Amino acid sequence: MRIGHVMLAGVAAFALTACESKADKVAEHQSNAVEAQSEATAQSMEAQAAAAKSTGTAAGAETAKTLEEKADVTREAGKEKANAIEQEAGKKD
């Protein structure tokens, strides 16, 4: 009887570990996706900034500066959100 209980406890512990690992993997994938999306958006903004700069006008330079600042903010926000996803997953373990 005791052997059965020990085996059952072992199986339950293994199943719990497997679930946590899966949750961690899901959180990691979500985190990576958020970071990749924000990076892609930031790169797009930087490309728009380069195009605006290439006009050689004061308005183009100002637009470029604004877009570059927005790209930095977007990139940083993506990193923060990705970190929050990972931290939240860590709390659930």
- Taking only the tens place, the pLDDT of each residue in 26-65 is 889 999 999 999 999 999 999 999 999 999 999 999 999 9
pLDDT at 78: 97
Structurally, the chain folds into a number of domains equal to 1
pTM summary value: 0.72
**5 confidence band (pLDDT: 50, 70, 90):** very low
Domain hosting 29: range is: 2-92
Quick one: residue 56, left, alpha or beta (phi over 0 = left, psi -120 to 50 = alpha)?
Answer: left
Closest CA to 70 of 44, 52, 35: 44
Q: What is the CA radius of gyration of the chain?
A: 23
pLDDT at res. 6:
46
Q: Is the pLDDT of residue 93 over 60?
A: no
